[in-house]
Amino acid sequence: MTIATDDALAAFATTATSAVAQCAGLDPRGRARCLAEAGLIGVLAAEASGGLALGLDHAVPVLHAAGAGLLGYPLLESMLLAAALGERPEAARIVLGDATATIAWSGGAQLEGGLLSGTAGRAPMADSADLVLVRLADGAALVDATGPGVIIDAGDGLDLEAAECRVILSGATPLALLDGDAMDAILQGARLLWAAAIGGAVETCLAAAVAHTSTRVQFGKALVSFQSLRHAMARQKLAAEHIGAAIARSLMHPDDRLARAAAFAAATRFGASAVESALQLHGGMGFTWDIPMHRHLRRIRAWDAQGDAPGLHRRLAADLLAANA
């Protein structure tokens, strides 16, 4: 993998920030078009499918902007799925924004006699998707979300921007199958990109906390002048930098699975507490529906579950024990 220049990455960040802002006023299909026109969905996808065939280092600033801007679109899923599908026709449809796609991160399906059955969960926005990837015991299967044998119903996750859905399969026909390595590559990529999105969310919440405490006056002084609050914000900054540091190192060592796992684990752990702290600094306002702190917090909790952070920690510990047997 070549390491991109800072200028090239900054250009991706700027484009993504502007596209994410535009998406706020659009429906899911409009968002797909908007993100596709900005060239974002195809960052990782093959050139033959209309993609840019770039590395994950270019996707990081895009997901950072998506997290910062509360994007309501399964962009992470679309980018990784389009890349995994290579030159299959579905890849081009996703890249161009003609089809919306998502991934059911939990549960999965069995493939018997060429037909899929089972229940998958944690599929962001599957209710408005054309294509859904569900996991198999070894690999994954792509299905038509509106096809026969596929029922999408509301999930019970916390995220409000890209609500999680359940995918119930009973005799659905797969459009495409991915092998175990391809699914693993999706998971590895997702861990890095969730970390990037959480990093973006933390920075947005920190900026809001700085703005709020700089203007809100209590005890005759701006809140920002109280050292305990300054230190709380310094810790939020520290969380954002931890996430950035772990991502940077993972990009330096793309094959180091521990480094990749650490980026995701660091993001869910430090990211969630940083947003909780930013919420706290908003006082009563932080507890309201209208102040978006809770939206960021909800998403981080959802991503934590989608990436199975608890299971990942168990596997890391098991690796540690095995290495010191």
Partner 1 sequence: MQPGLSGEAFRAHVLAWLAANVPAGIRIDQPGYQEPDLEACRAFEAALHKGGLAGITWPVEYGGHGLTIREHLIANQEIGRRGLPESINSLGKELAGPIILAIGNEEQKLRLLPPLLEMKQIWCQGFSEPGAGSDLAGLRTRATRDGDHWRINGRKIWTSASPWADRCLLLARTGALEDRHKGLALFAMRMDAPGVTVQPIRQIDGSTDFAEVILEDVPVDAADALGAPDEGWGAAVRVLSIERATNRMYRAWRFENELSHLMRACRSDATLAGLIGSGEYHRRLAEIMVDIEIIKGYVEPTVERLAEGEAIGDRGSLMKLHWSEAHQRFAVLAMELLDQAPPGAGDEVAAARARFQSTYLRGRAETIYAGTTEVQLGIIADRMLKLPRER
Residue 220 or 284 with smaller CB distance to partner 1: 220
Tell whether residue 8 is a contact of partner 1 (CB under 8 A): no
Tell whether residue 137 is a contact of partner 1 (CB under 8 A): no
Contacts of 102 (CB under 8 A, 6+ apart): 74, 77, 78, 81, 123, 124, 125, 126, 129, 131, 132, 133, 145
Tell whether residue 9 is a contact of partner 1 (CB under 8 A): no
Tell whether residue 269 is a contact of partner 1 (CB under 8 A): yes
Q: Which of 55, 222, 254, 283 binds partner 1 (CB under 8 A)?
A: 222
Contacts of 3 (CB under 8 A, 6+ apart): 57, 251
Radius of gyration, CA atoms only, the chain: 20
Instruction: Report residue 196 as tokens.
Output: 């990037």
Looking at residue 120, its amino acid is A
Segment near partner 1 (CB under 8 A), from 33-41, 71-79, 95-103, 262-270?
Answer: 262-270
279-318 binders of partner 1 (CB under 8 A): 310, 312-314, 316-318
Residue 167 β-bridge partners: 120, 152
Segment near partner 1 (CB under 8 A), from 140-148, 156-164, 177-185, 256-264?
Answer: 256-264
Tell whether residue 192 is a contact of partner 1 (CB under 8 A): no
Q: Which of 246, 272, 278, 297 binds partner 1 (CB under 8 A)?
A: 246
Residue 117 β-bridge partners: 110, 170
Q: Calculate helix-pair angle for 180-215, 75-84, nearest 10 degrees.
A: 160
Residue 214 or 288 with smaller CB distance to partner 1: 214
Q: Which of 27, 37, 179, 241 binds partner 1 (CB under 8 A)?
A: 241
Minimal distance in Å, beta carbon 70 to partner 1? 22
User: What value, to the nearest 5°, has the Cα angle with vertex 216 and ends 270 and 202?
Assistant: 20
Tell whether residue 265 is a contact of partner 1 (CB under 8 A): yes
The CA distance from 144 to 120, in Å, is 14
Q: Counting beta carbons within 10 angstroms of the beta carbon of residue 116, is it exposed (0 to 12), middle (13 to 18) or buried (19 or more)?
A: buried
Q: Which of 96, 101, 186, 259 binds partner 1 (CB under 8 A)?
A: 259
Residue 135 or 191 with smaller CB distance to partner 1: 191
Minimal distance in Å, beta carbon 164 to partner 1? 24
Instruction: Report residue 299 as tokens.
Output: 């998403």
Q: Which of 243, 205, 171 is nearest to 68 (CA)?
A: 205
Q: Using CB under 8 A as the criterion, which residues of the chain lie in contact with partner 1 when the complex forms?
A: 206, 210, 214, 221-222, 224-225, 227, 230-231, 233-235, 237-238, 241-242, 245-250, 252, 258-259, 261-263, 265-266, 269, 310, 312-314, 316-318, 320-321, 323-325
